[in-house]
């Protein structure tokens, strides 16, 4: 009999709150995007707000269908407290992820020149901060890790569940030109969810990452774009740096796992 990884406790009591969150999130997204989309029509750009607003409206409808398909009423969302020292490790992991992902922009066949670097054609503001840094990470983590990955872990092996959920997460970002980043972000968030057995870890990671990205827009530059612009020559230095970051990431996950197991005992 194949061994699978799963969470035992039943979080059925969170279903009403979950439906409420998705409903409010859907209304907020439409309420913000529709007026802004109309105002942007007079300043049409290839990467404008109307285009991304339509993408997210369709995506949310797809996610809503996915929630029903995955059986949210019996899925453990994994909302559990974290050991205190795990939180700073997550923040360190976010920085390590950023340092590692910066050069990987080089691998993507998208020219960053001439692209509107402000997300969805918007200028940074308190409204976009709440939407992008808080609301979207919460909705995405609850669905992709809490519901989708949590459901898959009860039916598939850990590796297959993380890979499939990461690809689905990347596909949901189909309006984003950096799909490789989305794929890796989904994989790291999935690993955090599995290793810590808590959705809070992936939520903190995702919010911190979006926080970095948001404030990088203030000067009109992509986060860590300087890393891409200063790629070393083919002398092995880049490979060694990436390898060191991978080893550091493994060490961080190992420490997290030890702390979580110690708390359980």
For residue range 59-88, list pLDDT tens digits in order: 556 556 655 555 554 456 777 788 888 888
| Best CA proximity match to 225, nearest among 115, 90, 89, 133 | 115
Distance (Å, whole) CA 72 – CA 18: 9
Lowest mean pLDDT among 55-64, 104-113, 164-173, 218-227: 104-113
Q: Are 9 and 77 in contact (CB under 8 A)?
A: no
Tokens found for residue 190: 């999935």
Residues in the chain: 265
Average pLDDT over residues 2-13: 46
Tokens found for residue 236: 């092995």
Highest mean pLDDT among 83-92, 132-141, 199-208: 199-208
- Residue 209: CB atoms within 10 A of its CB come to 23
* Distance from the Cα of residue 7 to its chain's centroid: 21
Q: Are 64 and 22 in contact (CB under 8 A)?
A: yes
Instruction: Please give the pLDDT value at position 204.
Output: 92
At residue 62, what are phi and psi to the nearest 5 degrees? -65, -40
Distance (Å, whole) CA 181 – CA 98: 10
Highest mean pLDDT among 23-37, 85-99, 128-142, 213-227: 85-99
Q: Are 175 and 32 in contact (CB under 8 A)?
A: no
Average pLDDT over residues 239-245: 73
Residue 179, pLDDT above cutoff 90:
no
Q: What's the angle, vertex CA 42, arms to CA 37 and CA 48, rounded to 5?
A: 45
Model pTM score = 0.67
* Distance from the Cα of residue 144 to its chain's centroid: 9
State the burial class of residue 131 (Cβ atoms within 10 Å of its Cβ: 0-12, 13-18, 19+).
Answer: buried
- 12-36 pLDDT per residue, tens: 555 555 565 565 556 555 555 555 5
For the chain, give the percent of residues with pLDDT over 90: 6
Instruction: Please give the pLDDT value at position 64.
Output: 60
State the burial class of residue 188 (Cβ atoms within 10 Å of its Cβ: 0-12, 13-18, 19+).
Answer: buried
For the chain, give the percent of residues with pLDDT over 70: 49
Distance (Å, whole) CA 256 – CA 88: 10
Query: Residue 151: which pLDDT band, with cuts at 50, 70 and 90?
Result: confident
């Amino acid at each position: 009999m194949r061994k699978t990884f799963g969470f035992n406790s039943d979080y059925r009591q969170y279903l009403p709150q979950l439906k409420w969150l998705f409903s409010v999130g859907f209304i907020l997204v439409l309420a913000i995007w529709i007026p802004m989309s109309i105002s942007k029509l007079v300043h049409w750009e290839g990467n404008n707000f109307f285009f991304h607003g339509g993408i997210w409206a369709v995506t949310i409808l797809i996610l809503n269908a996915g929630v029903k398909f995955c059986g949210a009423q019996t899925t453990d969302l994994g909302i559990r407290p974290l050991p205190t020292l795990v939180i700073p490790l997550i923040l360190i992991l976010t920085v390590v992820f950023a340092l590692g992902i910066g050069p990987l922009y080089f691998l993507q066949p998208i020219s960053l020149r001439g692209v509107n670097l402000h997300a969805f054609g918007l200028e940074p503001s308190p409204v976009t901060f709440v939407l992008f840094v808080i609301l979207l990470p919460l909705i995405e983590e609850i669905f992709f890790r809490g519901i989708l990955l949590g459901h898959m872990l009860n039916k598939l092996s850990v590796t297959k569940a993380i890979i499939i959920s990461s690809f689905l997460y990347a596909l949901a970002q189909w309006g984003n030109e950096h799909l490789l980043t989305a794929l890796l972000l989904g994989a790291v968030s999935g690993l955090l969810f599995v290793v810590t057995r808590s959705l809070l870890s992936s939520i903190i990671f995702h919010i911190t990452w979006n926080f970095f990205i948001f404030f990088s827009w203030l000067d009109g530059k992509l986060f860590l774009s300087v890393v891409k612009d200063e790629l070393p020559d083919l002398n092995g230095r880049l490979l060694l740096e990436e390898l060191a970051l991978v080893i550091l990431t493994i060490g961080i996950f190992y420490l997290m796992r030890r702390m979580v197991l110690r708390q359980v005992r």
